[in-house]
Structure 1
Amino acid sequence: MTRMPGDGRGAANAAAVLRTVLDHGPVARSGISALCGLSPAAVSRQATGLLRAGLLRELPGPSAHSGSGRPRVPLDLHTGAVGGPVAAGLHIGVPSSTFSLVDLRGRTLARRSLPHHAGRNDPARIAAALRDFLRDSDTGRPLLGLGAALGGWVRPDTGTVVRHPALDWHDRPLADELGAALGLPVRVDNHARAVAAAEVLFGHPAARRSLVHLFIGNVVDAAFGIEGTVHQGPGSAAGDVAHLPVPGSGAACACGRTGCLQAAASDTALGAEAVRRGIVPDPSVALLADAAAAGDPRADRLLRERARDVGRAAALLLDVFNPAVMVVTELSSVLNDAYLDEIRTAALERSRVCDDPARIVAPHAGPAVLPQAAATVLLAPLFRDPAGGSPAPTTGPGPAPTPPSPHPDPTTAPPPTPQLI
């Protein structure tokens, strides 16, 4: 899709067609016109360009219709096993990194985890393991590039990690490092914003009106979106809620105060408390969640305590932003609705504006939230601007002798070890 100088309207029209097919496809051109308000000629022009770019495909048979005239051939996003482009995803966490391949509908086709033993989370090691993953998972589909997400202060415009204390990274040109190592286009963003963007693109319809996303992991972050756009703020510094006060918490924080969200509810704090209480031998929230699932009442009690802290902090964000939907990414509530209900109850007890528990939701992708969100760092710009936001597809790093079968439905994909960072 070649863009002419000043062709902003064409870019907006192409995005409108692509998003309409995402939301309603398979759909005929006439249906796209009715849904997005563009003229049939404009839809036809943009659809032709999107077909040539490999982002759309015509389905094998015509859709049902009556009357005379040409059959209405339905269009859909090109997610086919032959020729359907994919995006690679990389989530860099503290205990591990997660690699993924994701199609244009946000479905995770393959994923793998890389533990960071003894803090070995340098980009060169991650890139080497990611290269192996891409080679082993290659099925010949065009690879659009890599989306990378991680906690802390990240500047997407420069691909720089400004500050990530848990990794001890400062002003790290991560996009350049990964791009040079992999030979791929790379986009980088904060993981809270990445999850928010995935909700806007693939998740709850109300998220496109407005949403707040609260991410609880070893790093605690938040993101806010309105009218389909996730807020960045000057310097892309929006979303730092580590020192948001949790009402009723007396947890001591490294900043010298008490009751900060990071100190009260982070995975680091929760893991340490679980070890102190003798529930698990290692400070792992995944182990704690496993213990609760196995029926350990001490583990269940501690996870419910954390859920209530998260809910009280969520109430503050609900009252400030009053979003249509609030998404909470927190391991126990992603795996078990009982902990999400605990978050909802605590939030509604404190909130002055929200009395509807259904407004507080877990990520729509469930345990696949991070693999999808990381790839969305690359896919979201493509859906905003299919020409300017789409890097030229490349072939994979090389065919594997026996590539694994992709799993188009994330509910049937092999479950990874749950980690939220």
Structure 2
Amino acid sequence: MARSTVARLTGLSPAAVSGHCGVLLGRGLIRERQETTGPRGLGRPHVPVEVDAGRYLVAGAHIAVTHATLSLMDLSGRIVAEERHPHDVTDPGRVLGGLAERLPGLVAAHGADRTVLALGAATGHWVDPEAGVVVRHPQLGWRDVAVRSVLAEATGLPVHVDSHARALARAEQLVGQAGTRESAVLLFVGAVVDAAFVSAGAVHQGPRSGAGNVAHLPVGAGDGGSSSCVCGVPGCLQAEVSEPEMVRRAVVAGLPVTSFPALLERALAGDATARELFLRRARLVGRAAAVLLDMFDPEVLVVVEPGAGRLPECLAALRAEVAERSWVCDDPEHRVVPSSFTGSVLATAGPAVALGALYDDPLGPWPALPAVS
């Protein structure tokens, strides 16, 4: 886009835009394209600028309950490489140390001589991004784990930390659905169930960084046999729809599966029992979605759940539940959407934390960027 267009869209003066572009060009964050003119060669020629995705990368680590995903992303939000390793143990020193040890090999194999600017780390439950600390993650057994300081010391990189729901909400703002930039709710359904809220263009954290704890919303399936939850609320969302509960129900139904990915593959292959389990999940997630839509009235609610992203009947069932239960959402076909990153959610979450920090302050003191006076 031309500098004049940037000035018009941002409200900055042309001189300010030219000055900022000069710094960004000097740092290699943007580049100039070939000079263009208007239709039929009319109009004043201009030199468009765009994000330079060929010089730098951000790295990311997503720490799930059973495994960790390490990935690299360019500045346009494209995943360059990813690898996943199961946890032998969930001791934070071992998990974080293993991520730091594997990162240089991933960069050497896929970095193509590009510089890594920062490392982002994301996980579920309660994360304090200002302190860089995982405050509490019950399934991992983590409490007050100083993720930022441990990874920064081990890698030598600037490290940014956040919850995976907030990270994915930021990714949607930067490179996902256009409708999520100003007002959105993101509902994450995996081994952990949580959410993120976007209002007036900002991802809400709360004064204790605890915003997004929706795991224990009562959704009351009414079909019995669900696992109990530490919250003590019968039929809470996490007890009904989490990945471990899905696997448990599959085994009870006679399916020979031992993991959630195996159950998902059976559903995608057309197994009727597996698909019914995902349809049940979709309906229960739809109940929670209806509550969140009525509480926050966002422009869009993004559902991060593989059934909604990959099985059309599940998304339809989820939207139907919203249509039946929500008082304010009269257009679920457009206001309830699957994640923009279905198939690469975990690989996106970690680097999105670092990419968001870069986009928030690209003119700041990033150590790997050249200084421009």
Q: TM (normalized to structure 2)? A: 0.92
Pair 1:122 & 2:59 matched: no
Say which SS state the counterpart of residue 344 (structure 1) adopts. helix
Counterpart of 1:267 in structure 2: which amino acid? E
SS in 1 for 2:157: coil
Structure-1 separation of matches of 2:218 and 2:37: 57
Query: Following TM superposition, by how much is the alpha carbon of 1:32 offset from its aligned partner in structure 2, in angstroms?
Result: 1.6
Match among 197, 209, 213 for residue 170 of structure 2: 197
Aligned to 2:67: 96
Deviations 1:158-201 (A, max 9, x none): 11010001111100001111111111111010001111111111
Q: Which residue is equivalent to 1:413?
A: none
Q: Are residue 246 (structure 1) and residue 222 (structure 2) matched?
A: no
In structure 1, how many angstroms separate the alpha carbons of the residues matched to 2:268 and 2:42? 58
Indicate how the Cα distance of structure 1 residues 34 and 158 shifts in structure 2: closer, same or farther if over 3 A, else same: same
Tell me the residue number matched to 1:309: 284
Match of 1:376 among 352, 366, 372: 352
Measured in 2, the distance between the counterparts of 1:375 and 1:148 equals 7
For 1:298, the equivalent position in structure 2 comes to 273
Aligned counterparts of 1:280 and 1:148: Cα–Cα separation in 2: 34
Whether the 8 Å contact between 2:257 and 2:263 is mirrored in structure 1 is no
The correspondence for 2:367, drawn from 370, 385, 392, is: 392
1:74 to 48, 59, 63: 48
Aligned pair partner of 2:145 in 164, 167, 172: 172
Match of 1:16 in 2: none
Q: Distance in 1 between matches of 2:183 and 2:305?
A: 20
Q: Is the 1:143–1:394 Cα contact (8 Å) retained in structure 2? A: no
Q: Cα–Cα, structure 1 residues 39 and 394, in superposed 2: closer, same or farther, change >3 Å?
A: closer
Equivalent position of 1:237 in the other structure: 210
| CA distance, structure 1, for counterparts of residue 348 and residue 271 of structure 2 | 31
The question of whether the paired residues in 1 share the 8 Å contact of 2:221 and 2:240 is answered with no
Q: Which amino acid aligns with 1:116?
A: H
1:114–1:129 CA contact under 8 A, matched in 2? no
What does residue 42 of structure 1 align with?
Answer: 16
| Letter matched to residue 369 of structure 1 | V
Decide whether aligned partners of structure 1 residues 331 and 280 sit closer, same or farther in structure 2, where only a CA change above 3 A counts: farther
Q: Which amino acid aligns with 1:340?
A: L
Deviation at 1:254, TM superposition (A): 2.7
**Cα drift, residue 335 of structure 1:** 2.3
TM-score (norm 1): 0.82
Could you list the runs of 4 or more consecutive aligned residues of structure 1 that deviate by over 6 angstroms after TM superposition? none
Query: Between the two proteins, what is the percent identity of the paired residues?
Result: 45
Structure 1 position 56 matched with structure 2 position 30: yes
Mapped to 2, the partners of 1:67 and 1:297 lie a distance apart of: 61
Q: Aligned equivalents of 1:274 and 1:215: distance in 2? A: 21
Structure 2 residues not aligned, in runs of 5+:
none
Instruction: Rate the CA distance shift 1:117–1:347 in 2: closer, same or farther, 3 A.
Output: farther
Aligned to 2:254: 278
Distance 1:138 1:209 in 2: 33
Q: Distance in 1 between matches of 2:342 and 2:100?
A: 26
- On the 8 A contact 1:142/1:394 being kept in 2, the answer is no
Report the counterpart of residue 240 of structure 2 in structure 1: 264
Change (3 A) 1:280 1:347: farther
Paired with 1:175 and 1:394, the residues of 2 have a C-alpha distance of 20
Instruction: Tell me, in whole angstroms, the C-alpha distance in 2 between the residues paired with 1:328 and 1:280.
Output: 28
Matched residues in 2 for 1:104 and 1:96: separation?
26
Q: C-alpha distance in 1, partners of 2:320/2:345?
A: 23
Hey, what's the Cα distance between the residues in 2 that align with 1:68 and 1:316?
A: 52
Letter in structure 2 aligned against 1:292: A
Higher relative contact order (CA 8 A, sep 6+): 1
CA contact (8 A) 2:121 2:161 kept: yes
Aligned with 1:336 (options 311, 324, 329): 311
After TM superposition, give the deviation of residue 248 of structure 1 in Å: 3.7
* 2:63 and 2:122 in contact (8 A); partners too: yes
CA contact (8 A) 2:37 2:43 kept: no
Q: Which amino acid aligns with 1:132?
A: G
Q: Does 1:110 align with 2:81?
A: yes
CA gap of 1:246–1:64, structure 2 versus 1, over 3 A, is same
Say if 2:306 and 2:342, in contact at 8 Å, map to a contact too.
no
Distance 1:306 1:31 in 2: 45
Q: In the alignment, which of 343, 351, 356 is matched to residue 367 of structure 1?
A: 343
Q: Specify the alignment match of 2:263 in structure 1.
A: 288
Compared CA separation, residues 377 and 68, structure 1 to 2 (3 A)? closer
Determine if contact 1:88/1:146 at 8 Å carries over to the other structure: yes
The answer to whether the 8 A contact 2:127-2:163 is kept is: yes
